[in-house]
Amino acid sequence: MQKLFSTGLVWFRRDLRTHDNAALATALQQCDQVHCVFVFDRTILDNLPRSDRRVEFIWGSVLALDTDLRSLASEDTPHTGLIVRRAIAETEIPMLAQALKAQAVFAANDYEPQAVARDASVQAALEKQSITWVGVKDHVIFEKREVLTQMGKPYGVFTPYMRAWLARLNDGFLPTWDGSNAKKALAARPAAFANAIPSLEALGFETTNLQSLGLLPGARGGEQLLADFWSRLEAYDETRNFPSIKGPSYLGVHLRFGTVSIRQLVRLALPLHRDGRTGASVWLSELIWRDFYFQIVANFPHVAQGAFKPEYDAIAWEQGAHAEQLFKAWCEGRTGYPLVDAAMAQLNQTGYMHNRLRMVAGSFLVKHLGIDWRWGEKYFAQHLNDFDLSANNGGWQWVSSSGCDAQPYFRIFNPVSQSEKFDAQGKFIKRYLPALAALDAKSIHAPWLAKPLALEAAGLELGRDYPLPVVDHATARARTLQRYGAVKKAPLPKEGEGA
C-alpha cells in the first residue's frame, strides 16, 4: 500500500518515548522512511541557570530515546537514532526538513501560548517549502474544544467537566499507538547529521543532584515509578495528602516530558474506577484535572498573563521593599511557619513539592503575605521539575481565588492547623528543618507558642535558630478579607475570549 509521504521528520518535544507515541506512530504509518529529531531550543535554554534539574532530566531522556530508537531500527540501518541539535527550533526545523527532503513534519500538539505561536511560525515556514505540518494529539486525552458544555462552550468548572469527560470517553480516545513497523521505516541519518549527542556540559549546563534524588530519566524511569505506585494505588485516596508518607505517584515530571503515556495511565486506572476502587477513582480525577487545565489554557490563553476572572486583576497587592522582603523570606523558607518553610525547603533542595503543600505554601504567599500570585507562579516555574504552565497557572489561580473553579476568596488556609492535620508528628518538618527536629509534636507546628522550657529542651532560640513568624495569622486573614472585599463576584470569560 502506497504511503502518503516518501520521507517524514518526527520532531520530539514533550513526548520523549517510543512506546505509545502518537507522532512517531503516525509518521511510521504515513511515510516510507522516517527521521527523528530533538532540538535543545536556545529560545528556552539560554534563559535558564547552568544548574537546572529539568535540563539534565531532558538530556538523560534524550539519550534514552536515542537508544530506544536504535533498538527499533533494522540491523541493516546502523546509523539510525536521533538527530540532536542545539539551535532555535523555530528556524532549525524548517531548515532540517528541507535538508532531509522531508515532505512532512510530525509533532505532538502543544497548547501553551508561546508554543502555539512557535508552531504556527514553523508551519508557515514549512508551507512555503511545500512541506506538510502534521500535528497530533499525544499528551492529553481530550484537547482544546473536544469536551464542551451543551451550549457549545468550554468548561470553567471542574466537576461538570469531569462528568462530561468520563461520559465521552471510549476506546477511540485511548488508542495504543503501535510502532511495530519502525524496523522498516526508521531511516539512517545522513552523514551531515550523524554527530554524537552533545554532553550536558557542551550544552552549557552542569550536573545537578538529580541522580542522588533517585529521579531516573527516560521511559524506564517512568516505568519504575509506575510499577512502584501500582502497589500503593489502592490507598492513594488515604495517603496522598500526607507529605511524610509515600502516597503520590511522583510521575509528574514524566508526564511533563512525555516519558510516560497519559493514555497508558488512564487505561490502567479506568477499569478500577468503574469497579468502584476509590484509590483509582481519586487518581483518575487528578489525571482529569490535568486535561482540564490544558483546555483552560487552550481556550482562555489570557490566563497565562492575568486572572481567569479579569476583575481579580484589580486587587491591590503589596508592593515595595517590604513586599520584596516578605517574598524573599517565603522563597528561602524563612517565614516562621514550619510547614510552609519545610515545603519551600523541599522545593529548593529537590525541585519537587508535595501537592498539598503547593496549596498551603501558595495560599500563604497570597493570603497571608498579600503578594501577587504571579510572583509565586514564576518562582515555581523556575524551580519545579514538573513545571507545566497549565497546571502551575491553574494551581496558583486556585489558591488566589482568581481562577476557574477556585476556592472562595474567604477560604484562607491556616498553616498551623494544616500542619497539625497533615503532618501531625512533624516528620516532614523535621526532615527539611533540622533546627526544629528536637521539638515535641505539639510545639513543632507553631514554635512561637511553645513554652520556654520546651524551646530550651530543644536547644532552640527563636530569632537565632529559626525565625519568628513574619506575619500574624489573624491579622493577615483580616487584611486579606479587606483586600478581596473590593472584588465583586467575577463572571466567567465569554466563549471565544482569546480562544
Q: Which of 165, 373, 375, 398 is catalytic?
A: 373
398 as an active site residue: the answer is no
- Joined together, the cell numbers standing for residue 301 give 490563553
Amino acid type, 17: R
**Are 257 and 14 within 8 A, CB to CB?**
yes
Q: Which of 146, 223, 286, 311 is catalytic?
A: 286
CA nearest to 219, candidates 19, 469, 78: 19
Which residue in this structure is represented by grid cell 518535544? 13
Q: Which of 143, 234, 348, 355 is catalytic?
A: 355
CA nearest to 354, candidates 230, 239, 241: 241
Sign of CA dihedral 229, 232, 237, 242: negative
348 as an active site residue: the answer is no
- Joined together, the cell numbers standing for residue 66 give 536515542
Nearest-angstrom CA–CA distance, 122 and 92? 9
Q: Which of 234, 311, 317, 318 is catalytic?
A: 317
**108: CB partners within 8 A, 6+ apart:** 13, 14, 15, 21, 22, 23, 135, 136, 137, 138, 139, 258
56 as an active site residue: the answer is no
Q: Which of 289, 311, 318, 420 is catalytic?
A: 289
**117: CB partners within 8 A, 6+ apart:** none
Element (H, E) at 485: helix 473-485
**223: CB partners within 8 A, 6+ apart:** 260
Q: Where are the alpha helices (DSSP H) in 242-277?
A: 252-256, 262-274
**Are 10 and 34 within 8 A, CB to CB?**
yes
286 as an active site residue: the answer is yes
Q: CA-CA distances (angstroms) from residue 310 to 110, 401, 489?
A: 25, 11, 11
**Are 274 and 232 within 8 A, CB to CB?**
no
Sign of CA dihedral 175, 176, 177, 183: negative
DSSP class of residue 488 equals: P
Nearest-angstrom CA–CA distance, 121 and 448? 56
Q: Which of 59, 177, 375, 396 is catalytic?
A: 396
**Are 177 and 20 within 8 A, CB to CB?**
yes
Q: CA-CA distances (angstroms) from residue 95 to 68, 85, 415?
A: 26, 12, 53
Element (H, E) at 108: strand 104-108
Pairing assessment for the beta strands 5-12 and 104-108 based on DSSP bridges: parallel
Residues acting as catalytic residues = 286, 289, 317, 355, 373, 396
